[in-house]
Structure 1
Amino acid sequence: MRVFITGASGWIGSAVVPELIGAGHQVVGLARSDASAAALTEAGAEVRRGTLDDLDTLRSAAAESDGVIHLAFKHDIAFSGGFADAADADRHAIDTFGEALAGSDRPFLIAAGTLGLAPGQVVTEQDGQASDPVGGHPADGPAKRRANAHATVALADRGVRSSVVRLPPTVHGDGDQGFLATVVAIARERGVSGYIGDGTNRWPAVHRSDAAHLFRLALEKAPAGSTLHAVAEEGVPIRTVAEVIGRHLGLPVAPVSPDDAAGHFSWLADFLGLDSPASSAYTRELLAWQPTQPGLLDDLGKGHYFATPSA
């Protein structure tokens, strides 16, 4: 297939690109900068210059492709407080791809998340598929992004082989700059490896290479309207993660009260205290996906998360 990918040079995309090329697919990646374009060229992909706001570019690239994987999200806007605006831009891109692919039965995949869908319960692929967004006010960014996933699944009714691949909050591996790297940085800055409350809350996890493999399988054979979970580990207790971090950094490990969590963990506090395990039993059976990479604690044990930051 000729596959167009947004976010192709990002954390997930830069693993999906070689996964697809290695399986014989031709990849065209969206690049908004010279650095991203160079990285894609080095990886063996074609480059289409543009941004998520260039809807004509997205439309023509999709029309010229056998499938689309949409991984880009305006995280710079989201982290500066404009999550709702970032979700709106995401929706415009999804609608544009839907229009270009309607009636073609070509695959269209987007990335979503498992975190917070049903706190305290093991989330399955069938959870959160109601017609209305799960939780939150309709104007909230997270609620809008869940609505975007619903809109993607609904494209199956318009002749698009659409799939939503939900990712856990910890997509780990060497080079990760996401949630887990942030937890490590906070521990180093505060001089203590903390966890909220008793730390028994759980986060699911997956190695990014295993996640990339699932994106390829979904592209090739997921049924229209599928919701899939890229979850290798159902739930790793956050206290256990904090203990491994403390051991590697030589820091004490201590609880942080919920009242003090925002002061200690900043924006991460809203997420780090969630108990949000997730299952991938349906995904594994449907696509014969079997994770093979190291688990979260083993990956932490390799030490790359604890390399001294460059000056």
Structure 2
Amino acid sequence: MKILVTGASGAIGSQLVPQLVAAGHTVIATTTSEAKTARLREAGAEPVVLDVLDSEAVREAVGRTRPEVIVHQATALAGNLKLRHVDKDFAVTNRLRTEGTDNLLEAAAEFGVRRFVAQSAMQVGYARTGGPVKTEEDPVDTHPAPGSERTLAAILHLENAVTPAPGIEGVVLRYGGFYGPGTSLERGGEQLELVRKRQFPIVGGGGGIWSFTHVADGARATVAAVEGGAPGIYNVVDDDPAPLSEWLPVLAETMGAKPPMRVPRWVGKLLAGEFIAMASTEIRGASNAKAKKEFGWAPRYASWRDGFQAELGG
């Protein structure tokens, strides 16, 4: 198949492009940086410099290349995200998930794109009530942490635009917290540096449940979503949802750092903001049963324990 991948030079895109090429697909890989086109070409793709916020440029690119499938992975998350002001940190990504998604869907409808696969995120999406692990059928959060309202709204805009798009098989992938090459949880990554400096504490009881996704496993699931499975929303996470109080000490030990500090919730809120306090104490994890069943996919790293050791162990 001919597949257009936006955000192809990002953390998951860098894993996805060579996997699609290896599977025999023709890949048109977009990036906003001319400097990154050589790397995409070396990976076997046809590089295209494209800003998905430019509706005319999107229409021209899709009309010229005529892909059968579009995979929308465009974000703007590079840099040091403090997450005290989530909506500010995610401002451009929110536009990519709203305006960018709309531009791509409009071009997809005009030029007969059959399938549309889009990146979403489960970490901020599920209601923080009920059980610790959520399925795709569970309700989304209606009371996000102050300062993250626009970010959640952008995620829901993407999901609500893609899944019912007329004439298109819309697939939304709710990835877990990324780790591995190109992420903040890689050797030298900003989050790991915070762990190393003991600046990433366990807030409150650390009961917030996290689900993780190694970027290579996320890419493998995306290839599977391109090639088959019913339209709809899927959690793409490992098999081992775990509270912050469990996984953060293991991460520190794996990388040879001192154990994380513990602070009361009010201190975490004061130092890092309400979003971090909420993520540390209240968020819910996710089940990957639907993705396994529909895509025939299973993560190579069934647990973040194995993945952390493979990426960061001595």
| Alignment TM-score, normalising by the size of structure 1 | 0.84
SS, match of residue 197 in structure 2: helix
Letter in 1 for 2:29: G
With over 3 angstroms needed to count, the CA separation of the structure-2 counterparts of 1:139 and 1:262, relative to structure 1, is closer
Q: 2: distance between equivalents of 1:3 and 1:163?
A: 14
Measure how far apart 1:40 and its partner are. Answer: 0.7
Q: Secondary structure at the match of 2:211?
A: strand
Return the alpha-carbon distance in structure 2 between the equivalents of residues 193 and 71 of structure 1. Answer: 28
Q: Which residue is equivalent to 2:67?
A: 65
- Partner residue in 2 for 1:36: 36
Answering whether residue 293 of structure 2 is matched by residue 282 of structure 1, we say no
Deviations 1:147-192 (A, max 9, x none): 221111121xx101111000012x22244325994442222234x6
Partner of 1:230: 236
Conserved in 2, the CA contact under 8 Å of 1:201 and 1:276? Answer: yes
Question: SS at 1:69's partner residue?
Answer: strand
Task: Tell me the distance in 2 between the aligned counterparts of 1:28 and 1:259.
Answer: 48
Check 1:89–1:286 CA distance in 2 against 1; reply closer, same or farther (3 A cut): closer
Matched, 1:154 2:160: no
What's the CA shift for 1:305? Answer: 7.7
Over residues 221-256 of structure 1, what are the superposed CA-to-partner deviations in whole Å (9 max), with x where a residue is unaligned?
1323x1111111241221222222332334133322
Q: State the Cα distance separating 1:85 from its structure 2 match.
A: 5.4
SS of structure 2 residue aligned to 1:228: strand
Contact 1:193 1:251 in 2 (8 A): no
- The answer on whether the counterparts of 2:6 and 2:72 sit within 8 Å (CA) in structure 1 is yes
1:118 to 114, 127, 134: 127
Determine if contact 2:240/2:303 at 8 Å carries over to the other structure: no
Q: Is the 8 A contact 2:70 2:113 kept in 1?
A: no
The CA deviation at 1:283 is 1.8
Which whole-Å CA distance do the structure 1 matches of 2:311 and 2:48 have between them?
Answer: 36
Q: Equivalents in 2 of 1:123, 1:272: separation in Å?
A: 17
* Bigger shift: residues 78-87 or 282-291: 78-87
Q: Take 2:196 and 2:291, find their aligned partners in 1: how far apart are those partners?
A: 37
Provide the C-alpha distance between the structure 1 equivalents of 2:41 and 2:68, rounded to a whole number of angstroms.
20
Q: CA deviation at 1:27?
A: 0.8
Alignment counterpart, residue 77 of structure 2, candidates 75, 78, 86: 75
| Structure 2 CA distance for aligned equivalents of residues 235 and 17 of structure 1 | 28
Give, as a single letter, the amino acid of the residue that structure 1 aligns with 2:106. Answer: E
Deviations 1:108-155 (A, max 9, x none): 0111011131225322122347xxx84459972322321221111121
Amino acid at match of 1:141: T
Segments of structure 2 that go 5 or more residues without pairing to the other structure are none
Tell me which amino acid in the other structure corresponds to 1:151: A
Amino acid at match of 1:241: W
Q: Which residue of 2 aligns with 1:214?
A: 221
Moved more, 143-152 or 75-84: 75-84
CA distance in 1, matches of 2:107, 2:179: 33
Contact 1:52-1:90 within 8 A present in 2 as well: no
The whole-number CA distance in structure 1 between the counterparts of 2:200 and 2:100 is 39
Distance change >3 Å, CA 19–CA 99, structure 1 → 2: same
C-alpha contact (below 8 Å) 1:244/1:301 kept by paired residues: no
Q: Secondary structure at the match of 2:261?
A: strand
User: Which of the numbers 260, 267, 280 marks the counterpart of 1:272?
Assistant: 280
What is the CA-CA distance between 1:76 and the residue it aligns to? 6.0
> Where in structure 1 are there 5+ consecutive unaligned residues?
307-311
Give me the whole-angstrom Cα distance separating, in 1, the residues matched to 2:77 and 2:257: 32
Decide whether the 8 Å contact of 1:174 with 1:304 is kept in 2. Answer: no
Pair 1:42–1:273, CA change in 2 (3 A):
farther
SS at match of 1:185: helix
Q: Give yes or no for contact 1:6–1:69 (8 Å, CA) kept in 2.
A: yes
Contact kept? 1:4, 1:61, Cα under 8 Å: no
Identical amino acids, percent of aligned pairs: 24
Q: 1:125, 1:228 within 8 Å by CA — same for their partners in 2? A: yes
